[in-house]
């Protein structure tokens, strides 16, 4: 098997389009397509379903993907180990996080780390879905759910609190809220049910199962923006809501949610000093900010 063809397969699988893979590889789409067909012919199986919206892996393609990803990761780790780069504080680190935590906490905390380690670069990925560590999408991931994969290192990162919030302008225009039942006459904001990627996000189902939100978004940042502009009321992370001066807590005694973040990384990536250093830094800053995260 030609390793160069396998690299092209990997990029198409990651990007799901020929054009995206071509851009990453610095070659044209026709070359990507031709090399894919060559690989499929050599293997005697179809690796992708060609659809209007892109390339989707077949069952055999998915099997090859995992093997190819493992080969890529182990080759990269072995090269860094042999070159001694695993003990050096330079190179790139890709950090995957949830949407709000990445944008409203992590991004603001990286200045000191990057100042101290001028030869390290960080790619921050605030995502509205799970980080695909199995696809080597990131070196470190911060997740809502504790990973169960034995091939990764996992530790609890921190707790954080969520409360019910509304804008002062909204509360001035609508009826008083003194108990949970009063919320049935108000506009609620929440997640798109069938696109929720973690049960940890099902706050309304827990506290207000009878209420159907009038406005939904896959992004908690969009939800917070809607609340800020007086559209309605939502359960939001305190570390996000407290950055919005016009937001106030609603029914703070009745609705009080605590969730956890987990930090995880593939075992072979934790052998790299730069990855281990960022891991410990993230643990340190969340420990120091526990009062902010639990405000």
Domain boundaries, the chain: 3-82, 90-158+260-293, 159-257
Instruction: Report the chain's mean pLDDT, rounded to a whole number.
Output: 89
Query: Angle CA(172)–CA(177)–CA(182) in degrees, nearest 5?
Result: 130
Determine contact, residues 242/162, Cβ cutoff 8 Å.
Answer: no
Characterise 95 by phi-psi region: left (phi > 0), alpha (psi -120 to 50), beta (else): beta
Cα–Cα distance measured from residue 129 to residue 55, given in angstroms and rounded to the nearest whole number: 20
Cα–Cα distance measured from residue 72 to residue 247, given in angstroms and rounded to the nearest whole number: 47
- Overall average pLDDT of the 196-205 stretch: 86
Question: Distance between alpha carbon 152 and the CA centroid of its chain, in Å?
Answer: 16
pLDDT the model gives residue 100: 94
Same fold: 3-82 with 159-257: no
Closest by CA to 54, choosing from 21, 24, 16, is: 16
pLDDT digits (tens, 9 = 90+) for 260-290: 999 999 888 888 889 999 999 999 999 999 9
Closest by CA to 229, choosing from 221, 237, 219, is: 221
Cα–Cα distance measured from residue 141 to residue 144, given in angstroms and rounded to the nearest whole number: 10
Element (H, E) at 5: helix 3-15
- Overall average pLDDT of the 164-191 stretch: 92
Cβ contacts of 74 within 8 Å, gap of 6 or more: 268
For the entire predicted model, the pTM comes to: 0.72
- Joined together, the tokens standing for residue 22 give 């071509």
Cα–Cα distance measured from residue 281 to residue 286, given in angstroms and rounded to the nearest whole number: 9
Give the DSSP per-residue string, 58-98: -HHHHHHHHHHHHHHHHHHHHHHHHTTGGGSS-EEEEEEEE
3-state helix vs strand vs coil in the chain, percent to 5: 50, 25, 30
Provide long-range contacts, Cβ within 8 A and 24+ apart, for 216-225. Answer: 216/189, 216/190, 216/191, 216/192, 217/189, 217/191, 217/192, 218/128, 218/191, 218/192, 219/99, 219/128, 220/99, 220/100, 220/191, 221/99, 221/100, 221/103, 221/104, 223/189, 223/190, 223/191, 224/100, 224/165
CATH code, residues 90-158+260-293: 3.40.190.10
Determine contact, residues 72/10, Cβ cutoff 8 Å.
Answer: yes
Q: Is 159-257 in CATH node 3.40.640.10?
A: no
Beta bridge partners of residue 94, listed in sequence order: 123
When pLDDT is cut at 50, 70 and 90, the band that residue 24 belongs to is confident
pLDDT the model gives residue 232: 95
Query: Which of 20-29, 45-54, 167-176 is modeled with the greatest confidence?
Result: 167-176
pLDDT digits (tens, 9 = 90+) for 129-163: 988 877 778 999 999 999 888 778 999 999 999 99
pLDDT beyond 90 at 65: no
- The CATH class, in words, for 3-82 is mainly alpha
pLDDT beyond 80 at 81: no
């Amino acid at each position: 098997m030609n390793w160069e063809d396998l690299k092209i397969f990997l990029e198409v699988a990651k990007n799901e389009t020929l054009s995206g893979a071509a851009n990453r590889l610095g070659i044209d789409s026709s070359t990507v397509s031709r090399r894919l067909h060559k690989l499929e012919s050599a293997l005697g199986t179809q690796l992708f379903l060609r659809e209007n919206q892109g390339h989707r892996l077949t069952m055999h393609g998915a099997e090859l993907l995992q093997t190819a990803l493992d080969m890529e990761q182990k080759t990269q780790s072995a090269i860094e180990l042999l070159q001694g780069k695993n003990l050096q504080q330079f190179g790139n680190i890709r950090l995957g996080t949830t949407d709000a935590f990445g944008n409203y906490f992590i991004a603001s905390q990286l200045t000191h780390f990057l100042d101290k380690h001028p030869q390290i670069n960080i790619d921050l990925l605030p995502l509205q879905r799970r980080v695909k560590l199995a696809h080597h999408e990131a070196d470190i991931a911060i997740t809502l759910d504790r990973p169960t994969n034995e091939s990764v290192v996992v530790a609890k990162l921190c707790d954080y609190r969520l409360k019910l919030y509304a804008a002062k302008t909204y509360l001035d225009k609508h009826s008083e809220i003194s108990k949970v039942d009063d919320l049935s006459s108000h506009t609620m904001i929440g997640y798109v049910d069938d696109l929720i990627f973690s049960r940890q996000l099902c706050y309304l189902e827990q506290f207000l199962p009878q209420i159907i939100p009038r406005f939904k978004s896959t992004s908690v940042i969009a939800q917070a923006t809607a609340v800020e502009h007086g559209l309605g009321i939502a359960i939001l992370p305190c570390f996000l809501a407290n950055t919005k001066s016009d937001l106030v807590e609603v029914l703070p005694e009745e609705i009080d949610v605590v969730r956890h973040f987990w930090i995880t990384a593939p075992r072979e990536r934790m052998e790299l000093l730069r990855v281990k250093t960022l891991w410990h830094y993230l643990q340190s800053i969340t420990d120091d900010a526990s009062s902010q995260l639990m405000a």
